[in-house]
């Protein structure tokens, strides 16, 4: 089911209105769409490296706005949020994610936003858990910006080799990013 959608998303990168489609996919992926915007970001940044950071900015802003939409779904329309998560097989993770949000708050969003865990799970669950909206927003800007700007940097710096790394080793890259955040948290706790 996802492969045709993936292929369609990839084809959009070559269209004249690709930036608008990139923004729409970035927005939708944060709340209900199954394919991440990286699928379009990579070929677009490779085709025009001088636009890599502009494209990362578009992804970040649209993803944050989509995250606010996902939060609103969770906050105001929890039943619909559960259906969306269930449609993609994520509803089983919701209880454990609520526990993580309650214990870790902002840190959970910062870490989960960098990983391959679908961002819609983070946004909808944050709304359901009624996480402070200002904290949610700030964390979304930080984590989504870090993800997309890192992708843009790698693509601009290393070209097609980076695309292969990102596509095949995204989990490893995400785990490394999470490890850096966790080490930072531990360092801050030891300083106090």
CA distance linking residue 35 with residue 53, whole number of Å: 21
pLDDT of amino acid 142: 93
CA distance linking residue 148 with residue 121, whole number of Å: 18
Closest to 147 (Cα-Cα) out of 116, 104, 102: 116
pLDDT of amino acid 182: 54
Tens-digit pLDDT string for the chain (192 aa): 567 776 777 778 778 899 999 999 999 999 888 888 888 898 888 888 899 999 999 999 999 999 999 999 999 998 998 888 888 777 776 777 777 777 777 888 887 777 767 888 889 989 988 889 999 999 999 999 998 998 899 888 888 777 666 666 555 655 565 555 555 555 555 655
Residue 125, classed as helix, strand or coil, is helix
CA distance linking residue 64 with residue 67, whole number of Å: 5
pLDDT of amino acid 16: 87
Q: For the chain, what's the residue count?
A: 192
Angle, CA 63 vertex, CA 38 and CA 81 arms, to 5° = 110
Contact criterion met (CB below 8 Å) for 122 and 115: no
CA distance linking residue 18 with residue 24, whole number of Å: 10
How many helices (H) and strands (E) in the chain? Answer: 10, 0
Angle, CA 31 vertex, CA 27 and CA 32 arms, to 5° = 100
pTM of the predicted structure, to 2 decimals: 0.80
pLDDT of amino acid 168: 63
> Would you kindly state where each structural domain of the chain is located, as residue ranges?
2-191
pLDDT of amino acid 163: 66
Contact criterion met (CB below 8 Å) for 74 and 127: yes
pLDDT of amino acid 2: 61
CA distance linking residue 7 with residue 34, whole number of Å: 13
Closest to 126 (Cα-Cα) out of 84, 68, 184: 68
Burial class (CB within 10 angstroms; exposed 0-12, middle 13-18, buried 19+) of 121:
buried
Chain Cα centroid distance, residue 61: 11
- 119 phi and psi angles, rounded to 5 deg: -65, -25
Both tokens of residue 77?
């329309």
pLDDT of amino acid 166: 61
């Amino acid at each position: 089911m996802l492969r045709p959608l993936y292929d369609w998303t990839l084809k959009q990168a070559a269209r004249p209105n690709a930036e608008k489609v990139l923004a729409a996919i970035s927005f939708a992926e944060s709340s209900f769409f199954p394919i991440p915007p990286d699928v379009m970001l990579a070929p677009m940044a490779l085709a025009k490296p001088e636009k890599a950071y502009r494209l990362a900015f578009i992804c970040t802003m649209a993803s944050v706005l989509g995250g606010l939409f996902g939060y609103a779904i969770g906050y105001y329309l929890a039943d619909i949020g559960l259906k969306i998560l269930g449609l993609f097989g994520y509803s089983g993770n919701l209880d454990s994610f609520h526990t993580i949000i309650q214990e870790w708050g902002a840190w959970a969003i910062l870490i989960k936003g960098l990983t391959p865990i679908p961002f819609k799970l983070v946004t909808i669950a944050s709304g359901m858990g009624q996480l402070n909206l200002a904290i949610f927003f700030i964390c979304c800007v930080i984590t989504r910006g870090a993800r997309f700007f890192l992708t843009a940097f790698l693509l601009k710096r290393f070209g097609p080799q980076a695309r292969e790394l990102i596509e095949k080793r995204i989990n490893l890259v995400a785990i490394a990013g999470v490890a850096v955040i966790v080490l930072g948290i531990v360092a801050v706790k030891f300083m106090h």
